Structure 1
Amino acid sequence: MKHEAYIRGLGYYAPEKILTNADLEKIVETSDEWITSRTGIKERHIAAPGEAVSDMTAEAARRALADAGMDADELTHIFLYTVTPDYYTPSAACLVEEKLGIKGKVVQDVNAACSGYIYGLEMARAVLALHPEAKVLVAAAEVLTSRTNWADRRTCVLFGDAAAAAIISAGDPRPGDGRIVDVLLASDGSLGHLLTIKGGGSGHPYKLGDTVDEDYFLFMNGREVFKHAVRNMTTVCEELVAKNGLDIDAIDLFIPHQANLRIMEAVAKKLALPEEKVVSTIARFGNTSASTVGIALAETKAEGRLSPGCRVLFGVFGGGFTWGSALVQF
């Protein structure tokens, strides 16, 4: 028996501190015009000293729980998608559990890079297929500025910090709930070297006394990532729409990964989606990795754009490489 999965509540958190393009002009050789014209980003949020992924996730989770009308102790599972956890161990998901004041849940950190939120929707669907009584928190959060090389003007202008959360369960839908219609996911590990953070992992360990070098920070071959992102996001979105017997005109809103405005525009153009259907938050948040589409969805709901019957298509792409698409109907 199939148990439908519904998004019951949404929330996000972005740190108070904002770093504008004008601020970056004082840090690295760049300009507001250069950043805006190439990325669409005007500002990004930066975690405060000592503000970790678990702190941001806990706050996003509280907001999602409030939106769902649920108490934290009703949760059965916490899945946190991140590449910048507080520590190697304990997991950031365990720390979120503690900060929510609960115990005894199924908790796990998962790394799908920028595709994490959509991978999380599929994880929730899988859990609900086995445990229809479950109530799942799917969260995506990054403090990417902790792994940003502020001397590399190609990457330091792109990233910000934030967390997004969704509460997902089965059962009868309520007004405003979003049914997860379908999800398609994919990956290609042979291209992982094009977008990577090596330093500190078991494949690139540090010894006591070693200095932190450039490998500790995010590296990206921007030109190659751009090509693969556009191609794979477009293809997986087309496949998902066709798989569900729809054509692209049936899509009311498109929420792409907010990596770069040029990528977003290129994917929308290839999908023949008009600008008014494309949700964009990149100007205010920059690329916050896996949390970008969760932030965009929560804001879209808060703005009252998710009318009954609204079909929302997601397209994501991230390091690994990983990519995917989801279709949610409200």
Structure 2
Amino acid sequence: MTLRAVVKGVGHYLPERVVPNSEFEASLETTDEWIRARSGIERRHFAAEGETTSDLATHAARAALADAGFEPDDIDAIVVATSTPDLTFPSVATMVQDKLGMTRGFGFDVQAVCAGFIFALTNANALILSGQAKRVLVIGAETFSRIMDWTDRSTCVLFGDGAGAIVLEVAEGDGTTADRGILSADLNSDGRYREMLYVDGGVSTSGTAGKLRMQGNPLFRQAVEKLTSTAETALEKVGLQDSDVDWIVPHQANIRIIQGTAKKMGLSMDHVVVTVQDHGNTSAASIPLALSVGVARGQIKPGDLIVTEAIGGGLAWGAVVLRW
């Protein structure tokens, strides 16, 4: 018998306000065509004034719980991946716990920027396999619109706000790759690359939230190489190959990165869940958003083998292999 962390439910939430590329044309030297050509993004959602990361996360959590058929007190732990928390502390996870009316268990946040959901998912898997929890709510939620420099056309047009969530539950498997649930994970980071993607503020430096800064071209080159490598490493850990994959569910940062990674893995775009055109880069929220949308579209089905991978500031990157 092998214990597995199996996905029981999935859900997402997007703020009401939709911002098309054309909205940036009035304030920036840019066009809809320029943005689409370089990123694949057509629109994104921005949180309303007063709408916080924990609000988005709570909406997504409720959707995932409903999909799983669980109540908040059926959950043992909440793990939230975010780089844009409501406050310096307490954690977004504890705020979600309160907003859900969950009176038991525990919650904490994970910060690995765009790779955050991969790190959160791996932590949740470890909690389940170690016996610390039987059911874990894993959420990625961001309000990146709050840390944009609206004069920088190379960054502010790329990001959006949103949240996605999944519910994991312990189950028994046979110890083979036919088991449902998380089969393997691969995590990495290298602080030497931090200047490629960072925020120029913080509690112990400026005392402000700061604004996002990015070196686009160097980051692009690192992304395709590292995303391919981590995905293939995670597959190799359980004796699987690229050709075994039904769906890649990548971090939705840039369509060219997504296409480049799929090509390196020898998979057509017919095997990739793509949402970047509608959501932009929602950082730690992008993978659970894409998983939820992929299920809603009828793309992802029970038994499918999924590789999900992401890279973010740090640099931090990783991949998870799971059977839906």
Q: What TM-score results when the alignment is normalised by the length of structure 2?
A: 0.95
Instruction: Select 1:303's aligned residue among 297, 316, 324.
Output: 297
Residue aligning to 2:282? 288
1:95 matched to 2:89? The reply is no
Partner of 2:136: 136
Residues 1:217 and 1:133: Cα distance change in structure 2 (over 3 Å): closer
How has the CA–CA distance of structure 1 residues 307 and 80 changed in structure 2, closer, same or farther, with 3 Å as cutoff? closer
Question: Distance between the aligned counterparts of 1:259 and 1:308, measured in 2?
Answer: 26
Q: Give the Cα–Cα distance (whole angstroms) in 2 for the partners of residues 59 and 197 of structure 1.
A: 27
Preserved CA contact (<8 Å) 1:143 1:161: yes
In structure 1, what is the equivalent of residue 176 of structure 2?
none
Give me the CA root mean square deviation: 1.6
Aligned to 2:206: 205
Aligned counterparts, 1:143-154, within 5 A: 143-154=143-154
* Structure 2 residue 197 is the aligned partner of structure 1 residue 195: yes
Q: What SS class does the counterpart of residue 62 from structure 1 fall into?
A: helix
Aligned equivalent of 2:317, options 314, 323, 326: 323
How far off its partner does 1:133 sit?
A: 5.1
Where do 5+ consecutive residues of structure 1 fail to align? 207-211
User: Of the candidates 208, 213, 218, which is equivalent to residue 219 of structure 1?
Assistant: 213
1:104: how far off?
3.5
Does the 8 Å contact 1:132/1:170 carry over to 2? Answer: no
2:186 paired residue number: 184
8 Å contact kept, 1:313–1:325: yes
- Cross-structure match for 1:49: 49
For the 8 Å contact 1:2–1:129, the answer to whether it is kept is: no
Distance 1:276 1:81, change over 3 A: same
| Equivalent position to 1:259, from 244, 253, 259 | 253
1:228 to 210, 215, 222: 222
**TM-score when normalising by structure 1:** 0.93
Aligned residue identity for 1:258: Q
The answer on 1:60 being equivalent to 2:60 is: yes
Distance 1:296 1:307 in 2: 14
Aligned to 1:276: 270
Instruction: Provide the C-alpha distance between the structure 2 equivalents of 1:133 and 1:106, rounded to a whole number of angstroms.
Output: 10
Report the identity percentage: 39
Q: Equivalents in 2 of 1:273, 1:147: separation in Å?
A: 35
User: What are the superposed Cα offsets for residues 206-260 of structure 1, whole Å, 9 maximum, x if unpaired?
Assistant: 3xxxxx7xx8100001111111111100111111222222221111111111101
- Choose the corresponding residue for 1:239, options 217, 233, 237: 233
The list of structure 1 runs, each at least 4 consecutive aligned residues, that deviate by more than 4 angstroms after superposition, is none
**Contact preservation (8 Å) 1:160, 1:288:** yes
Gaps of 5+ in 2: 174-178
Deviation (angstroms), 1:46: 0.3
Aligned-partner SS, 1:124: helix
Partner deviation per Cα, 1:257-288 (whole Å, 9 max, x = no partner): 11011111111111111111111000000000
User: 1:115, 1:290 within 8 Å by CA — same for their partners in 2?
Assistant: yes
- Cα distance in 2 for partners of 1:119, 1:89 equals 20
Opposite residue 118 of structure 1, the aligned amino acid is: I
Taking the aligned partners of 1:102 and 1:244, their CA distance within structure 2 comes to 36
Q: Distance in 2 between matches of 1:259 and 1:125?
A: 25
- CA–CA distance in structure 2, aligned partners of residues 28 and 281 of structure 1: 24
